Amino acid sequence: MIKGYLGELTIRFILSFLNKKEYKVINNVRVFHNGIMAQIDHLIVSRFGLFVIDTKTYKGWIFGNENAYQWKQVIFNNTFRLYNPIRQNLGYTKALQANLNEYPDLDYFPIVVFTHGSKLKVNSSFPVIKYYNLLKIIKSVKDENVSQEIRVNI
């Protein structure tokens, strides 16, 4: 629990370097969909779309495939299973889309970011990255599609 909190603080610190006029960072967003609460670690509202960021603090080697139900964490000779964080974050994104259905043309960018201590061996078309690549991934999106009015409403 503390490890997860510290990981989220690390990402929050990194996100604080984004231009505040272009990117609105909201931490610990709770959305409800079909009677289930989803807690999004970090949501960024920008003129480029919404970035839905899930923070992971696992150590060791992380093996995964975008379509797999579970991934593997390997620490020395010990293997552990974890729920696919891409699937988890896509669930958060769908819950957010359902809550923002009056804006059907928004672009959503789900990102899974791992903090210190992990080596990623992941096959995915979605960004599954280390913390030091986060700002580069966010800033690589250049197509504007969200008006100032919509950003304020969100």
CATH number for the domain running over 2-153: 3.40.1350
Sequence spans of domains, the chain:
2-153
Question: Per-residue pLDDT for the chain (154 aa), expressed as one digit of tens each?
Answer: 665 667 789 999 999 999 999 999 999 999 999 999 999 999 999 999 999 999 999 999 999 999 999 999 999 999 999 999 999 999 999 999 999 999 999 999 999 999 988 999 999 999 999 999 999 999 999 999 999 999 999 9
Q: pLDDT for 74-84, tens place per residue?
A: 999 999 999 99
Distance CA 146, CA 41 (A): 22
SS3 9: helix
Length of the chain measured in residues: 154
Single pTM value for the model: 0.94
